[in-house]
C-alpha cells in the first residue's frame, strides 16, 4: 500500500498544486477562464489579443513565468521577411507579413516596422542555385523576392565588400524589399496593452507547473506557482520550453532546444541601410534605430536551456562580418546575449491541435519566429476559437512527423542550425 506523509495528505486535500499553502490561507475557489495562454511572449500575447478582438473570447488569461517579452521576443534580432521556399510556408509567412503592414495602427502602438529590405548573400555556386530557387519559387507564389548581381548588392548596401579575392566572395544576393525589421519588445507591449484593454488578464511571475486533465482526458486546469487556474481551452506558446510545457500533459513533441546568440555594437550614425544575412557563414547584420549594429550567429552546436551561449560562436561570426564589412573592423561590442530556440526536424513550426482535447500548441519556430508573431497569434487564436486548424496552419500539424509530410525550410531559415 502506498504511504502518504501528513504534508502529502494536506497537499492532496487542497488539490495537489504547488501553491497549496497560499490556497490554505486564501481558501478561495480556483479562478476559471474561457481560455488560458501559457507564455507571455509576442506569440502568446498576440493570440490572447486576437481571441478577444476577433472571437469575443475576452475571459482569457496569459500566464508568464517571468516578465512579458523576456523570452526570445525580447532577445531576437528583429528580422521580418517571408522568403521561404514551399507553398505552405509562403502562405504562412506572407500572412504574417501582411499583418505587419498596419500593426502599429491596429494596436495604436508604434512597433517601428521598417521594411528596409533583407538581402541574403551567396558565396558559392551552391548558394547561388539555392537562393535563385527561392527567388523563383517565391515569385510563383506571389511573394516578392529578386536576384541581384554583386554590383547591385553593393549599390543597395554600400559598405558591403564585393572584392573577388576575399575569403567569402559575394557572387550575388536575393533581396526581399518588403522585409526589414521591427522593434521586438514594442510588439509584446503593444499586444499586451491592446489585449488588456479588451479584458484579458496578463499574469506575470506565474509559472505553469502542471496540466490537469479530466476523466475523459480533456484539459481541465493548470497548476501554477500562484495556484490552480481552471480552463477547458489551453494554448501553449512557450518557445524554447514548449516540449517541457506540453510534456506536462503527457504529449511528446519532436523538438530540441538550442541557444541562439546575438550581440550589438556601440551605437553609431547610420551605416548599414538594410538587413544582410549569410546562412553559409553563420552571420547577419542590421542597424537598429538607436544606431547599434545588430549582429547574430548560428545556433550553438549543443542542446541547452541556458539562454547564454559559447564564446567561439560569436568570434567566428565577427570574423566573417569584419571580412564582409571591413569598415566596421574597429567597432566595439556593447553587449551580447542568447535565447533558447525550439527546433523541429524540418525547421518549420508546429501549430494546431494536440492529441489532448482542449490543448493547442504553437511552437518549433526555431531561429525565425519573430517575423511570424502577428500571424502565429492570429492563427493560433482562430484554431483555439474554432477547435479546428485554420487552413493556413493545417499542414503544420504534429502528425506530419509521423506521416513523413515534412516542410523542410532549413535553407530558408538562413541562420545556420
Ligand atoms: P517567447 O518570447 O520566448 O515567449 C515564450 C514565453 O513562455 C517566455 O516569455 C517564457 O518565459 C514563457 N514560458 C516558458 N515556460 C513557461 C511556463 N512553464 N509557464 C509560463 N510561462 C512560460 N526570429 C525572427 O523571425 N527574426 C530574427 O531576427 C530572429 N532573431 C533571433 C535572434 C536570437 C538571438 C534569438 C534567441 C531568436 C531569434 N529569432 C528570430 C527567433 C524568435 O525570437 C522566436 O522564434 C520568437 O520570438 C518566439 O516568440 P514567442 O512569443 O513564441 O516566444
Ligand atoms: O529568421 O530571419 C530570420 C532570422 C534572422 C536572424 C535570426 N533569425
Per-residue pLDDT reduced to its tens digit, 388-401 = 999 999 999 999 99
Place of cell 518557445: 239
Q: Point out the ligand nearest to the CA of residue 414.
A: 2
Q: Tell me, what's the pLDDT at 281?
A: 86
> Residues near 21 by Cβ (< 8 Å), separated by ≥ 6?
none
C-alpha of residue 89 to centroid of ligand 2, in Å:
15
Q: Whose CA is nearest to atom 5 of ligand 2?
A: 79
User: At residue 22, does pLDDT exceed 90?
Assistant: no
Report the 3 state secondary structure along the chain: CCCCCHHHHHHHHCCCCCCHHHHHHHCCCCCEECEEEECCCHHHHHHHHHHHHHHCCCCEEEECCCCCCCCHHHCCCCEECCCCCCHHHHHHHHHHHHHHHCHHHHHCCCCCCECCCEEEEECCHHHHHHHHHHHHHHHHCCCCCEEECHHHHHHHCCCCCCCCCCCCCCCEEEEECCCEECCHHHHHHHHHHHHHHCCCEEECCCCEEEEEECCCCCEEEEEECCEEEEECCEEECCCCCHHHHHHCCCCCCCEEEEEEEEEEEEECCCCCCCEEEECCCCEEEEECCCCEEEEEEEECCCCCCCCCCCHHHHHHHHHHHHHHCHHHCCCCEEEEEEEEEEEECCCCCEEEECCCCCEEEEECCHHHCCCCHHHHHHHHHHHHHHCCCCCCCHHHCCHHHHHCCCCCCHHHHCCCC
Cα–Cα distance measured from residue 51 to residue 336, given in angstroms and rounded to the nearest whole number: 35
Q: What is the pLDDT of residue 67?
A: 98
For residues 341 and 261, give the distance between their C-alpha atoms in angstroms, rounded to a whole number. Answer: 10
Q: Are the C-beta atoms of residues 169 and 128 closer than 8 Å to each other?
A: no
For domain 6-75+184-253+348-412, give its CATH number from 3.40.50.720, 3.40.640.10, 1.20.1260.10, 3.50.50.60.
3.50.50.60
Which pLDDT belongs to residue 212? 98
Domain ranges within the chain, ordered by starting residue:
6-75+184-253+348-412, 114-180+256-344
CB 63 within 8 A of CB 224: yes
- Which of these, 342, 393, 392, 385, lies nearest to 363 by C-alpha position? 342
CB 283 within 8 A of CB 317: yes
pLDDT (tens digit per residue) in 331-341: 999 999 999 99
d(CA 245, CA 228): 16
Length of the chain: 417
pLDDT category at 416 given cuts 50, 70, 90 is: low
Query: What pLDDT digit, counting tens, does each position of 78-134 carry?
Result: 999 999 999 999 999 999 999 999 999 999 999 999 999 999 999 999 999 999 999
Cβ 344 vs Cβ 350: under 8 Å: yes
- For Cα atoms 219, 221, 223, give the angle at the middle one, nearest 5 degrees: 125
Q: Which CATH number fits domain 114-180+256-344: 3.40.1360.10, 3.30.559.30, 3.90.1150.10, 3.30.9.10?
A: 3.30.9.10
Q: How far apart are CA 131 and CA 416, in angstroms?
A: 15
Q: Is the pLDDT of residue 7 over 50?
A: no
The answer to whether the beta carbons of residues 303 and 260 sit under 8 Å apart is no
Query: Residue 211 in contact with residue 186, Cβ under 8 Å?
Result: no
pLDDT of residue 14: 43
Ligand 1: list residues with CB < 6 Å: 38-44, 63-66, 70-73, 75-79, 207-208, 237-241, 245, 260-262, 296, 339, 341, 365, 367-371
pLDDT digits (tens, 9 = 90+) for 327-363: 999 999 999 999 999 999 999 999 999 999 999 999 9
What is the number of the ligand 1 atom nearest to the C-alpha of 366?
45
- Residue with the nearest Cα to atom 36 of ligand 1? 339
Decide if pLDDT at 1 tops 80: no
414 C-beta closer than 6 A to ligand 2 = yes
By the 8 A CB rule, do 296 and 317 touch? yes
Tens digits of per-residue pLDDT, 32-41?
A: 999 999 999 9
Q: Which of 6-20, 223-237, 275-289, 361-375 has the lowest mean pLDDT?
A: 6-20
Q: Which three cell numbers stand for residue 268?
A: 553609431
Amino acid at each position: 500500500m502506498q504511504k502518504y506523509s501528513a504534508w502529502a495528505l494536506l497537499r492532496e486535500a487542497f488539490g495537489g498544486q504547488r501553491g497549496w499553502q497560499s490556497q490554505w490561507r486564501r481558501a478561495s475557489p480556483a479562478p476559471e477562464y474561457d481560455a488560458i495562454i501559457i507564455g507571455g511572449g509576442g506569440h502568446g500575447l498576440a493570440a490572447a489579443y486576437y481571441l478577444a478582438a476577433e472571437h469575443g473570447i475576452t475571459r482569457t488569461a496569459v500566464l508568464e513565468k517571468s516578465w512579458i517579452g523576456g523570452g526570445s521576443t525580447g532577445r531576437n534580432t528583429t528580422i521580418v521577411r517571408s522568403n521561404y521556399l514551399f507553398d505552405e510556408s509562403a502562405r504562412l509567412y506572407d500572412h504574417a507579413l501582411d499583418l505587419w503592414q498596419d500593426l502599429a495602427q491596429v494596436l495604436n502602438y508604434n512597433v517601428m516596422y521598417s521594411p528596409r529590405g533583407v538581402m541574403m548573400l551567396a558565396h558559392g555556386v551552391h548558394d547561388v542555385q539555392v537562393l535563385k530557387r527561392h527567388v523563383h519559387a517565391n515569385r510563383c507564389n506571389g511573394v516578392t523576392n529578386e536576384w541581384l548581381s554583386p554590383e547591385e548588392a553593393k549599390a543597395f548596401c554600400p559598405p558591403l565588400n564585393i572584392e573577388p579575392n576575399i575569403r567569402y566572395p559575394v557572387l550575388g544576393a536575393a533581396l526581399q524589399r518588403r522585409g526589414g525589421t521591427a522593434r521586438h519588445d514594442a510588439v509584446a507591449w503593444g499586444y499586451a496593452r491592446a489585449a488588456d484593454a479588451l479584458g484579458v488578464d496578463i499574469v506575470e511571475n506565474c509559472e505553469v507547473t502542471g496540466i490537469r486533465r479530466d476523466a475523459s482526458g480533456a484539459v481541465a486546469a493548470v497548476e501554477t506557482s500562484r495556484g490552480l487556474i481552471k480552463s477547458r481551452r489551453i494554448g501553449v506558446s512557450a518557445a524554447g520550453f514548449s516540449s517541457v510545457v506540453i510534456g506536462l500533459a503527457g504529449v511528446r513533441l519532436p523538438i530540441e532546444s538550442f541557444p541562439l546568440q546575438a550581440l550589438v555594437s556601440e551605437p553609431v550614425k547610420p551605416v548599414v541601410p538594410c538587413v544582410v544575412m549569410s546562412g553559409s557563414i553563420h552571420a547577419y547584420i542590421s542597424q537598429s534605430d538607436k544606431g547599434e549594429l545588430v549582429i547574430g550567429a548560428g545556433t550553438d552546436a549543443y542542446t541547452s536551456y541556458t539562454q547564454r551561449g559559447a564564446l567561439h560562436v560569436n568570434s567566428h561570426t565577427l570574423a566573417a562580418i569584419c571580412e564582409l564589412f571591413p569598415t566596421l573592423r574597429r567597432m566595439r561590442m556593447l553587449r551580447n546575449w542568447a535565447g533558447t530556440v525550439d527546433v523541429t526536424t524540418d525547421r518549420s513550426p508546429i501549430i494546431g491541435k494536440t492529441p489532448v482535447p482542449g490543448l493547442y500548441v504553437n511552437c518549433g519556430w526555431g531561429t525565425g519566429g519573430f517575423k511570424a508573431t502577428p500571424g502565429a497569434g492570429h492563427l493560433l487564436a482562430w484554431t483555439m476559437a474554432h477547435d479546428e486548424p485554420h487552413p493556413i496552419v493545417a499542414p503544420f500539424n504534429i502528425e506530419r512527423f509521423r506521416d513523413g509530410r515534412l516542410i523542410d525550410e532549413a535553407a530558408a531559415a538562413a541562420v545556420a542550425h
